[in-house]
Chain A
Amino acid sequence: MSKSNFTRRGVLKTGAVAGAGMALPQYLRAQESGFTNAPGASEVTLGFNVPQTGPYADEGADELRAYELAVEHINGGGDGGMLSTFSSKALDGTGILGREVKYVTGDTQTKSDAARASARSMIEKDGAIMITGGSSSGVAVAVQALCQEAGVIFMAGLTHSNDTTGKDRKANGFRHFFNSYMTGAALAPVLAARYGSDRKAYHLTADYNWGYTTEEAIRASTEAVGWETVNSVKTPLTQTDFSSYIAPVLNSGADVLVLNHYGGNMVNSLTSAVQFGLREAQANGKDFEIVVPLFSRLMARGAGENIKGILGSTNWHWSLQDEGSQAFVRSFGTKYGFPPSTAAHTTYVQTLLYADAVTRAGSFAPCAVAEALEDFEFDGLGNGKTLYRGDDHQCFKDVLVVKGKDNPESEFDLLEVVEVTPVDQVMYSPDHPQMGGAEATLGECNNGA
């Protein structure tokens, strides 16, 4: 009779220990490397966290298209897109540090808790070494804080609130998109030149973080050029019919309406304003004007004819004629059949910049990557010469002042660039009061593990 050393209990114990070891989050197993989710020798995984459901699902879909295109180009596929125009030549189409780029996606649902849950899942279960994406400042701030704690790099997507790189800035987070302050600084001189400096503004402001910082920025910049703010009304984020808010505007003494709204809010408030005849109205002996500080092409499409002639700002536009923008539009347009949105441009560029920073740093360690991105100056990715400022991880580049096009030639031809505001005009000090003042700090970079 043979005697075995295996017992049922022993096998169960061994199995349980082995199973627990296998199930350990990848970032805990990476302690040897000194940073979270150190990649293997052949592959590296990036996490694309975009709204795939909810009100910004269209932006999310465009972001995802751009991410896929960026991965294709980094891995050596397609026509290379902006790799050929990017001033840094570190990327050579062989992935990142010789590793093929893979990606996982998450759905932010444009909800902070859902976005954090999907980012956490990508970091802990899928081993994502960098998280990027999003179409909301609330989501960006929440996910950025999570990435800081987990020790991965966060490359923010569509987030325009000052707070992302202002009072809520983090050492592991970087933003390519412009912000509310820059919108105010770029837009106010154009508004003064076109509408005069003796104007009275009425603000309707979305009742959440982005609305507040945008109103603050526009008020400060327009008051600096001589405008007076006669009233400011907060509107609920869930509001769809803005008639009650628009109706009092014409008799308020104001001759300009500033709609600090984005997305569906902007489409609906602008529609109400046009319906109530504000575009044709006169006040204080002047033509009544409407201003929408933040535009995107996808939103302009929603607003339809109402957008014509209305001034605003945007981060990037496909009609830009610089080499980088044209290369990106060509790649994206050939692959998908339509020009990219500003959301797509931001996320494409963020992916390339991350890959480039890792390659220049020679390491995936977040702190090494952050160091490579800090005070990094480059060109060839649209918007001209660009700086990733080390003090607050905000990107500084030219800002576009745009206008709803009067005679669009296609369904994509909705905005026209009226001025490219030079970067110097939108610069501010890292301790600017609108950015959290002297108390705002990046904190310590976190490698995790």
Chain B
Amino acid sequence: MDQIIVQILNGLDKGSAYALIALGLTLIFGTLGVVNFAHGALFMLGSFCAVILSRILSASHEVADPTRLDFLGNPAMNKVFYVQDMFGEAAGAAIMDWAVPLAILFSIPVMIGVGFIMERGLIKHFYKRPHADQILVTFGLAIVLQEVIKYFFGANPIQTPAPDAFKGSLDFGVFLGYEANAIMYPYWRLVYFFFSAVIIAAVFAFLQFTTFGMVVRAGMADRETVGLLGIDIDKRFTFMFGLAAAVAGVAGVMYAPIVAPNYHMGMDFLVLSFVVVVVGGMGSLPGAVAAGFLLGILESFASMPVIVDILPGINQIIIYLVAIVILLTRPRGLMGRKGVMED
């Protein structure tokens, strides 16, 4: 039983990441009608926002230390961090330690800007083109973005740790009456889950309870009629692209301590996120979130050693098997709307 609880927690955690990326994908597809294969790259860029801010905050100058020698026998250089020069040793260390949470603030304007440039500079030229063209151009863009990142940051993963306060694991089992150490779960993964829940709730609240959101939802349902009412829906949809990019970006920032950022991480999530979108129902925001969590939990269960022993390799195909079953029984996905991608 304890293993089942751990895998549910794991699944919720993975599902959080899938749901956040799928949410952005669905927002873009629902508003602009674009199948954005560069969305995984936006998630990757978000995690590199954490790396960049971490490096900015850790910027230092070197002071020769005559008591130590470097590998060539020259006096070793000690790093002196600018942030500690400015704020003192303790405060400077705390700022560097909290680089990842601070990177959320850093990433939002950066990612909105990236999204705006992507949409205005490239993707808007493909609105009226077939989906195949959109997939090709956005996939190409994803490759360009990851190669740019690799050029500047190298190919190896870069550790971007969580603040010290969130290192270690919570003994979750104790709360449920289990022995100590029976169900351990990392603090940061719990933070990630709650963070995702807040972001998802915020996006839904924005769309549900603001005038801007209401217009966007109306545009998603019937773009032409909203345009006839004199509303510049294109401008709002461009903003939604920026918002989707920011959602993917903050998801990436918070994911950085879980999996060390590397240039390829966007591609790792992209295919799964598309499966999530299709299973949830093209254009359905609640569907994307529900399918994200569902598939995350299923994937976690399928990775349990007892399951893999019985069905080797099931962990790698479970998501696709479930996708096939759902699409056979509900061709529009779990919560798909009639008419979306059916013309």
> Which residues in A have some Cβ–Cβ distance to B below 8 Å?
53-58, 231, 233-234, 236, 238, 240-241, 243-245, 247-248, 250-252, 263-264, 267-268, 271, 275-277, 280-282, 298-299, 301-306, 318-319, 329-330, 333-334, 339, 409-410, 412
Contact = CB atoms under 8 A, between A and B. Distances in A.
A58 B7 CA distance: 35
Contact of B156 (A243, A248, A280, A302): A302
A280 B157 contact: no
Contacts of B76: 409-410
Contacts of B259: 240-241, 268, 271
B60 to A, nearest CB: 11
B311 to A, nearest CB: 13
Contacts of B10: 243-244, 247
B268 A329 contact: no
B168 interface: yes
B13 interface: yes
A339 B155 contact: no
B79 to A, nearest CB: 9
Contact of A275 (B68, B169, B303): B169
Contacts of B186: 275-277
Nearest to A265: B157
A318 B182 CA distance: 42
A267 B305 contact: no
B175 interface: no
Given A58-B156, A233-B308, A275-B188, 18 more contacts: A53-B155, A54-B155, A234-B312, A240-B265, A240-B268, A244-B10, A244-B303, A251-B3, A264-B157, A271-B258, A275-B189, A276-B186, A301-B156, A302-B156, A304-B161, A305-B161, A319-B71, A410-B71
B265 A247 contact: no
A66 to B, nearest CB: 16
B169 A244 contact: no
Contacts of A298: 156
B88 interface: no
Contact of B305 (A231, A240, A250): A231
B208 interface: no
Nearest to A304: B159
Given A250-B184, A251-B182, A275-B186, A56 B155 contact: yes
Nearest to B188: A275
A409 B169 contact: no
A55 B155 contact: yes
Given A248-B6, A410-B70, A57 B260 contact: no
A434 B207 CA distance: 61
B169 A236 contact: no
15 contacts: A55-B264, A58-B155, A244-B303, A244-B315, A247-B10, A248-B304, A251-B182, A264-B157, A271-B259, A277-B184, A301-B156, A303-B159, A304-B159, A339-B71, A412-B71
Contacts of A251: 2-3, 182
Nearest to A412: B71
B260 A236 contact: no
A326 to B, nearest CB: 10
Nearest to A281: B181
B330 interface: no
A233 B264 CA distance: 24
Interface range on chain B: under 10, 10 to 19, 20 to 34, or 35 or more? 35 or more
A281 B184 contact: yes
Given A248-B305, A271-B260, A282-B181, A305 B72 contact: no
A264 B158 CA distance: 10
Interface of B: 2-3, 6-7, 10, 13-14, 68, 70-72, 76, 150, 154-159, 161, 168-169, 181-182, 184-186, 188-189, 258-260, 262, 264-265, 268, 299-300, 303-305, 308, 312, 315-316
Contacts of B154: 57-58
Contacts of B268: 238, 240
A234 B303 CA distance: 10
B7 to A, nearest CB: 7
A267 B159 contact: yes
Nearest to A60: B155
Contact of B299 (A244, A277, A304): A244
A81 to B, nearest CB: 14
A233 B305 contact: yes
B159 A271 contact: yes
A69 to B, nearest CB: 15
Q: Which 7 A-B pairs have the closest CB atoms?
A: A304-B159, A244-B303, A277-B169, A57-B155, A275-B186, A247-B6, A267-B157
A276 B184 contact: yes
Contacts of B184: 250, 276-277, 281
Given A245-B303, A250-B181, A277 B168 contact: yes
B305 A299 contact: no
A87 B72 CA distance: 24
B296 to A, nearest CB: 10
Contacts of A299: 156
B260 A268 contact: yes
Contacts of B159: 267, 271, 302-306
Nearest to B316: A236
A103 to B, nearest CB: 22
A275 B264 contact: no
Contacts of A334: 72
A334 B72 CA distance: 8
A303 B260 CA distance: 8
Nearest to B300: A244
Contacts of B185: 276
Contacts of A302: 156-159, 260
Contacts of B14: 241, 243-244
Q: Which interface residue of B6, B265, B312 has the most chain A CB atoms within 10 A?
A: B6
Contacts of A56: 155
A318 B73 CA distance: 13
Nearest to A54: B155
A265 to B, nearest CB: 10
A359 B228 CA distance: 83
A252 B268 CA distance: 29
Nearest to B269: A240
Contacts of A305: 159, 161
B189 A248 contact: no
A269 to B, nearest CB: 10
Contacts of A57: 150, 154-155
A275 B154 CA distance: 24
Contacts of A330: 72
